[in-house]
């Protein structure tokens, strides 16, 4: 019998998650909430049809201490990338990811929309949903020493 994974099973292990269906994407979205990255850490390989971000994500899965870890968020089968309020290649501006959402299109196509703090957004149109989140470093103490907070609105 196969058992479902528990949140605690992640512990100190690096995450590697993949979403192939819309119902799976909220798991990745919750883990990248409050991730930060400079504009220079975004890439779109048109020929390889891959959009990727190197993120410093907050480790929501391990709340013993406020930690971050570098992770790569990859969106496959990307056919078009558009952004609003984002200076691509700007290594001085740190962007903060608020949400990652799926907008379905026709016949399995759609768009992954990354909403950023400060009214910025990145829209990645895809032929099919395939999003991967992979931790690429060991966790480190969050420089702020705090858990991200969101004011009630």
- Residues 40-50 have a mean pLDDT of 95
**Which residues touch 91 (CB under 8 Å, ≥6 apart)?**
38, 39, 40
Residue 151 lies in a domain: no
For residue 8, what is the DSSP state?
A: G
- Residues 67-90 have a mean pLDDT of 90
Residue 135 lies in a domain: yes
Residue 102 lies in a domain: yes
Q: How far apart are CA 153 and CA 150, in angstroms?
A: 9
Q: Give the three-state DSSP class for 111.
A: strand
Residue 109 lies in a domain: yes
pLDDT in tens, 5-44: 444 555 567 889 999 999 999 999 999 999 999 989 999 9
Residue ranges making up the domain that contains 121: 17-139
At residue 153, does pLDDT exceed 80?
no
- pLDDT class of 152 with cuts at 50, 70, 90: low
Instruction: Quickly count: other Cβ atoms within 10 Å of residue 4's Cβ.
Output: 5
């Amino acid at each position: 019998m196969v058992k479902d994974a528990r949140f605690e099973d992640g512990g100190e292990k690096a995450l590697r998650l993949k979403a192939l269906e819309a119902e799976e994407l909220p798991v990745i979205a919750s883990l990248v909430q409050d991730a930060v990255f400079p504009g220079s850490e975004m890439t779109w390989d048109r020929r390889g049809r891959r959009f990727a971000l190197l993120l410093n994500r907050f480790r929501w899965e391990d709340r013993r201490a406020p930690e971050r870890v570098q992770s790569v968020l990859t969106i496959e089968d990307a056919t078009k990338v558009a952004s609003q309020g984002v200076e691509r290649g700007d290594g001085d501006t740190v962007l903060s990811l608020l949400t990652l959402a799926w907008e379905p299109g026709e016949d399995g196509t759609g768009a992954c929309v990354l909403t950023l703090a400060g009214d910025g957004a990145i829209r990645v149109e895809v032929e099919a949903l395939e999003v991967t989140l992979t931790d690429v470093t060991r966790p480190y103490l969050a420089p702020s020493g705090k858990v991200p907070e969101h004011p009630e609105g």
